[in-house]
Amino acid sequence: MGERRTASIGGVHPVPSPWVPGSVLLAEGSSFAISDPAGDMTGAGLHGLFLGDLRVLSRWELRVNGASPEPITVAPDGPFAATFVSRARAAADTAEPSLVVLRRRQVASGLVEEIEVRNFGDEAAYCSVELWAEADFASLSEVRDGAAHTGGGVLADAEGPELSFRYRRADARFGIRVLFPEAARVGPDGAAFEAIVPAGGRWTATVDVYSAADGEAGNGGAAAGAHPRSAARAQPAERLARWRRQVPLVFTDYPPLEQALRRSAEDLGSLRLFDPDHPERVLVAAGVPWSMAVYGRDSLLTSWMALPLDPDLAMGVLQTLARFQGSEVDPRTEEEPGRILYRMRFGAPEAPGGLSYGSVDATPLFVMLLGELRRWGLASEVVDELLPHADRALEWVREHGDRDGDGYVEYRRQSDRSPVNQGWKDSPRGIRFSDGRVAEPPIAVAEVQGYVYAAYVARAHFAREAGDEAAARSWHTRAAELKAAFNRDFWLPHRGWYALALDADKRPVDALCSNMGHCLWTGIVDEERAPVVAERLMSPEMFSGWGLRTLGSTMGGYNPVSYHCGAVWPHDTAIAAAGLMRYGFVEEAQRLAMGMLAAAASSGGRLPELMSGLSRDELPSVAPHPGACSPQACSAAAPLLLLRSLLRFDPWVPNGRVWLAPALPEEIGHLVVDRVPLGGARIRIEVDGPSLKVEGLPAGVELVQAGRRPLTAG
């Protein structure tokens, strides 16, 4: 997205700590490569080519005339391709080097690299080119933990122009092939070339890396033996071109907003995945590098926030999650009938299929997103087909999610494939009392009850649209009963905030946390208590100046660099801003939005997955968490939700209305959002000070310029 220009999607992603400083990331689907600025992958840190969960190349180093070329620049060509420009080192008796080296690299279902040596000298130059290759087949978790093996058990075979690496682990086999030009001398550790490059001339060679036929388990969903040079090589560019043509355009006079939205489009474009069995379905990876998989919660939240950008993402996510919806009870994966998965890697080596269902929130979020897709008037046939899956999800909520019959959805981990905590704050010590004690499971976290409430409301709307008033009343009654119980059992009158959770003994976990911002978002908070919640969220304990701390700074266990006990997560803050705006707290929502935009501006437009909870007054620039993904899907989508909140844009197409009453901070004087998908049309929204103009509304849809949509509307 851009100011007075179209969105620019693509680019080389700089790799943050703890990755090797100056590293360059290229990613496509579940494949990614991390190298130094010269294009070399040295095996240090996260360097390497990863297909799915495996590092299939741990070394990929170029030598020209026996030395590493000197890097000059990296020129991006989308998130998956770049040209690395360097120059060969000069011989001792040469005044200035004359050989320039270009490495044009593309990551797809493997890697394609064209090496070009240009001679800008006055005479022909002898040139030796060596490309060293190694594979260790280390998993991402091994690389992350520094426990990657050094290649023991890896077999390397050279035959003709091809070098292959194979590895067996347990019952799974992995393999890749490296195809060099016929002129190469290929050995078990790489290949060498010799050439005479004429004055003013050039020498080129193209090398392909792709999955071996026995490497299906490690290829991240690529077809066995797939060769990236043809169709697979063209697909990313074609997909990117389609993405560029359809994403909305934003024009604004406030550069931080333009920059953040442009980066959102870029990063979400780079994180897209495609179901290998249904390639027309768009999905999203949770983040690079640790979460290059489909995560139910992250996918649902990301695609919800990204609806103004690309509704196809929500459709693909819902269809794929429905495809893998639980159908039986399996303690190994925590699968249960109707449950929505926690994590899945297409083609991952873990049986069965890399699936885990250890999430307590993905299932009600599935119903929420389906209801939201209906509200936008999008993909009505797909929504109708998925409604039975929503009903199965709600059956899980009642029959399995509520394990003790108290009306609340709770969790207790049953499998080591799942996190200890199964809400979004899933770190082992993420659910604490105000004195720092860790809560004991089974645990009912506050925001999940809000998600269930919103899922009941969404299902009531489905019933009403179908003319089933009895079912609509039943679902509304369930929602009202849950809301009443929640406000009775989770409200802490002596504290002035909602409990983070109920523990195994039904005691309120009384820490001051950001989770109640999610409760505002879903509408489960009683209106008379909302002002106190807003005040607490915006207190110095919670608001760092950049965003909301996950845990209040006065609470036991607070640590500003702890994942869920003090750090700031952009998606968490964006959801809270949406909740504040829903209840009419405009100034508070604006402060959160402007803090997030300032955070993005201080880090090149990209919001990190999470950042330090240190106050903006004491730390004038954002400090990303050292273990954060970059880019990360929910954080990439957060500016889109902030934009929607500031516009107070809330469609209900089946009901024939769309609420739109912009409440822009004074720093944003002019804003145009064009090509927003709504009800099968593309609308244009223009805000110029107090003036609002909307063009292209679908037939039969009325514009309601009200500051708030009634909470009873769901």
pLDDT tens readout for residues 460-481: 999 999 999 999 999 999 999 9
Residue 328 sits at φ, ψ, to 5 deg, of -145, 170
Per-range mean pLDDT, top range of 39-48, 337-346, 578-587, 617-626: 578-587
Contact 679, 700 (CB under 8 A): no
Residue 603 located in a structural domain: yes
Indicate the Cα dihedral angle 298, 303, 305, 310, nearest 10°: 150
Cis peptide before 71 (omega within 30 of 0): no
Q: What is the pLDDT of residue 573?
A: 98
Determine the pLDDT at residue 630. 83
Is residue 8 helix, strand or coil? coil
Rounded to the nearest 10 degrees, the angle between the axes of helix 311-323 and helix 296-305 is 160
Q: What is the average pLDDT score of the chain?
A: 88
Task: Determine how many CB atoms are found less than 10 A away from the CB of residue 127.
Answer: 18
Tell me the C-alpha to C-alpha distance, in Å, between residue 222 and each of 52, 99, 225, 592, 706.
9, 37, 8, 42, 49
Q: Give the tokens for residue 339.
A: 């449950």
Does residue 614 form part of some domain? yes
Q: Which of 607, 634, 661 is the last residue of a domain?
A: 634
Nearest CA-CA partner of 321 in 288, 348, 298, 351: 298
Tell me phi and psi for residue 546, to 5 degrees: -95, -45
Print the domain residue range for 572.
539-634
Question: Going by C-beta distance under 8 Å and a sequence separation of 6 or more, which residues neighbour residue 695?
Answer: 683, 684, 686
Are residues 76 and 201 part of one domain?
yes
Element holding 660 (H helix, E strand): strand 657-660
- Residue with tokens 């019952």, as numbered in its chain: 171
Domain at 706, CATH number: 2.60.420.10
First to last CA, the chain: 31
> How many CB atoms lie under 10 A from the CB of residue 675?
18
Residues 17 and 114 in one domain: yes
Is the pLDDT confidence value at 12 over 50?
Answer: no
Looking at the fold, whether 557 and 689 belong to one and the same domain comes out as: no
Q: How many residues does the chain have?
A: 714
Q: Are residues 657 and 622 in the same domain?
A: no
79 within 8 A of 239, measured Cβ to Cβ = no
Q: How many CA atoms lie within 13 A of 660 on its CB side?
A: 23
Q: Do 79 and 184 have their domain in common?
A: yes
Residue with the larger pLDDT of the pair 671 and 224: 671
Q: Tell me, what CATH number does 156's domain have? A: 2.70.98.40
Whether 103 and 154 share a structural domain:
yes
Both 592 and 712 in one domain: the answer is no
130: in domain? yes
Distance CA 42, CA 420 (A): 35
CA distance linking residue 662 with residue 686, whole number of Å: 10
d(Cα 390, Cα 370) in Å, to the nearest integer?
Answer: 8
Q: In this predicted model, what pLDDT tens digit does every residue of 158-191 receive, in sequence order?
A: 999 999 999 876 556 778 999 999 999 999 999 9
503: nearest Cα among 568, 445, 554: 445
Does any domain span residue 335? Answer: no
- Grade residue 574 by pLDDT with cuts at 50, 70 and 90: very high
Domain boundary among 196, 218, 235: 235
Share of the chain above pLDDT 90, in %: 70
Residue 401 lies in a domain: no
CA distance 548 to 568: 6
CA distance linking residue 204 with residue 192, whole number of Å: 13
Helix axes 446-465, 515-522, angle to 10 degrees: 10
Measured CA to CA, the distance from residue 69 to residue 87 in angstroms comes to: 5
**Which of these three, 203, 235, 267, is where a domain ends?**
235
- The model's confidence at residue 346, banded by pLDDT at 50, 70 and 90, is confident
User: Is residue 32 domain-shared with residue 178, that is, in the same domain?
Assistant: yes
Residue 708 is predicted with a pLDDT of 64
Residue 502 confidence (pLDDT) above 90: yes
Query: Quick check: is 596 in a domain?
Result: yes
CA–CA separation, 706 vs 710, rounded Å?
Answer: 9
Phi, psi dihedral angles at 513 (to 5 degrees): -135, 170
Residue 234: the pLDDT is 62
pLDDT at residue 15 greater than cutoff 70:
no
89 neighbors 249 (Cβ within 8 angstroms)? no
118-144 residue pLDDT tens: 999 899 999 999 999 999 988 887 887
Q: At what angle do helices 255-270 and 633-647 cross, to 10 degrees?
A: 140
393 within a domain of the structure (yes/no):
no
Tell me: pLDDT of 291 over 60.
yes
**CA nearest 462: which of 331, 350, 372, 597?**
372
Alpha helices (H) in 557-652, listed in sequence order:
570-582, 586-601, 633-647
Our count of domains for the chain comes to 3
Nearest to 46 by CA among 143, 137, 111: 143
Backbone angles phi, psi at 590, to 5 degrees: -65, -40
Q: Which residue has the higher pLDDT, 231 or 433?
A: 433
Q: Mapped to the 3 state alphabet, what secondary structure does 529-584 carry?
A: HHHHHHHHHCCCCCECCCCEECECCCCCCCCCCCCCCCCECHHHHHHHHHHHHHCC
Report the candidate in 461, 483, 481, 480 with the shortest Cα–Cα distance to residue 471.
461
The residue with tokens 């880019």 is: 631
Tell me, what's the pLDDT at 95? 65
Single pTM value for the model: 0.89
> Nearest 5 degrees, angle CA 219-CA 220-CA 225?
30
Asked if residue 101 and residue 162 are part of one domain, the reply reads yes
Nearest-angstrom CA–CA distance, 420 and 545: 31
> Looking up tokens 């159908």, which residue turns up?
327
Q: Are residues 213 and 127 in the same domain?
A: yes
Q: Which residue has the higher pLDDT, 8 or 332?
A: 332
For residues 278 and 583, give the distance between their C-alpha atoms in angstroms, rounded to a whole number: 40
Distances (CA, A) of 638 to 186, 257, 363, 521, 633: 48, 12, 21, 14, 9
Evaluate if residue 567 carries a pLDDT over 70: yes
- Domain co-membership, 601 together with 705: no
> Are 567 and 713 found together in one domain?
no
CA-wise closest residue to 251 among 551, 578, 3, 554: 3
Looking at the domain assignment, is residue 665 inside a domain?
A: yes
Helical pair 633-647 and 570-582, crossing angle rounded to 10 deg: 20
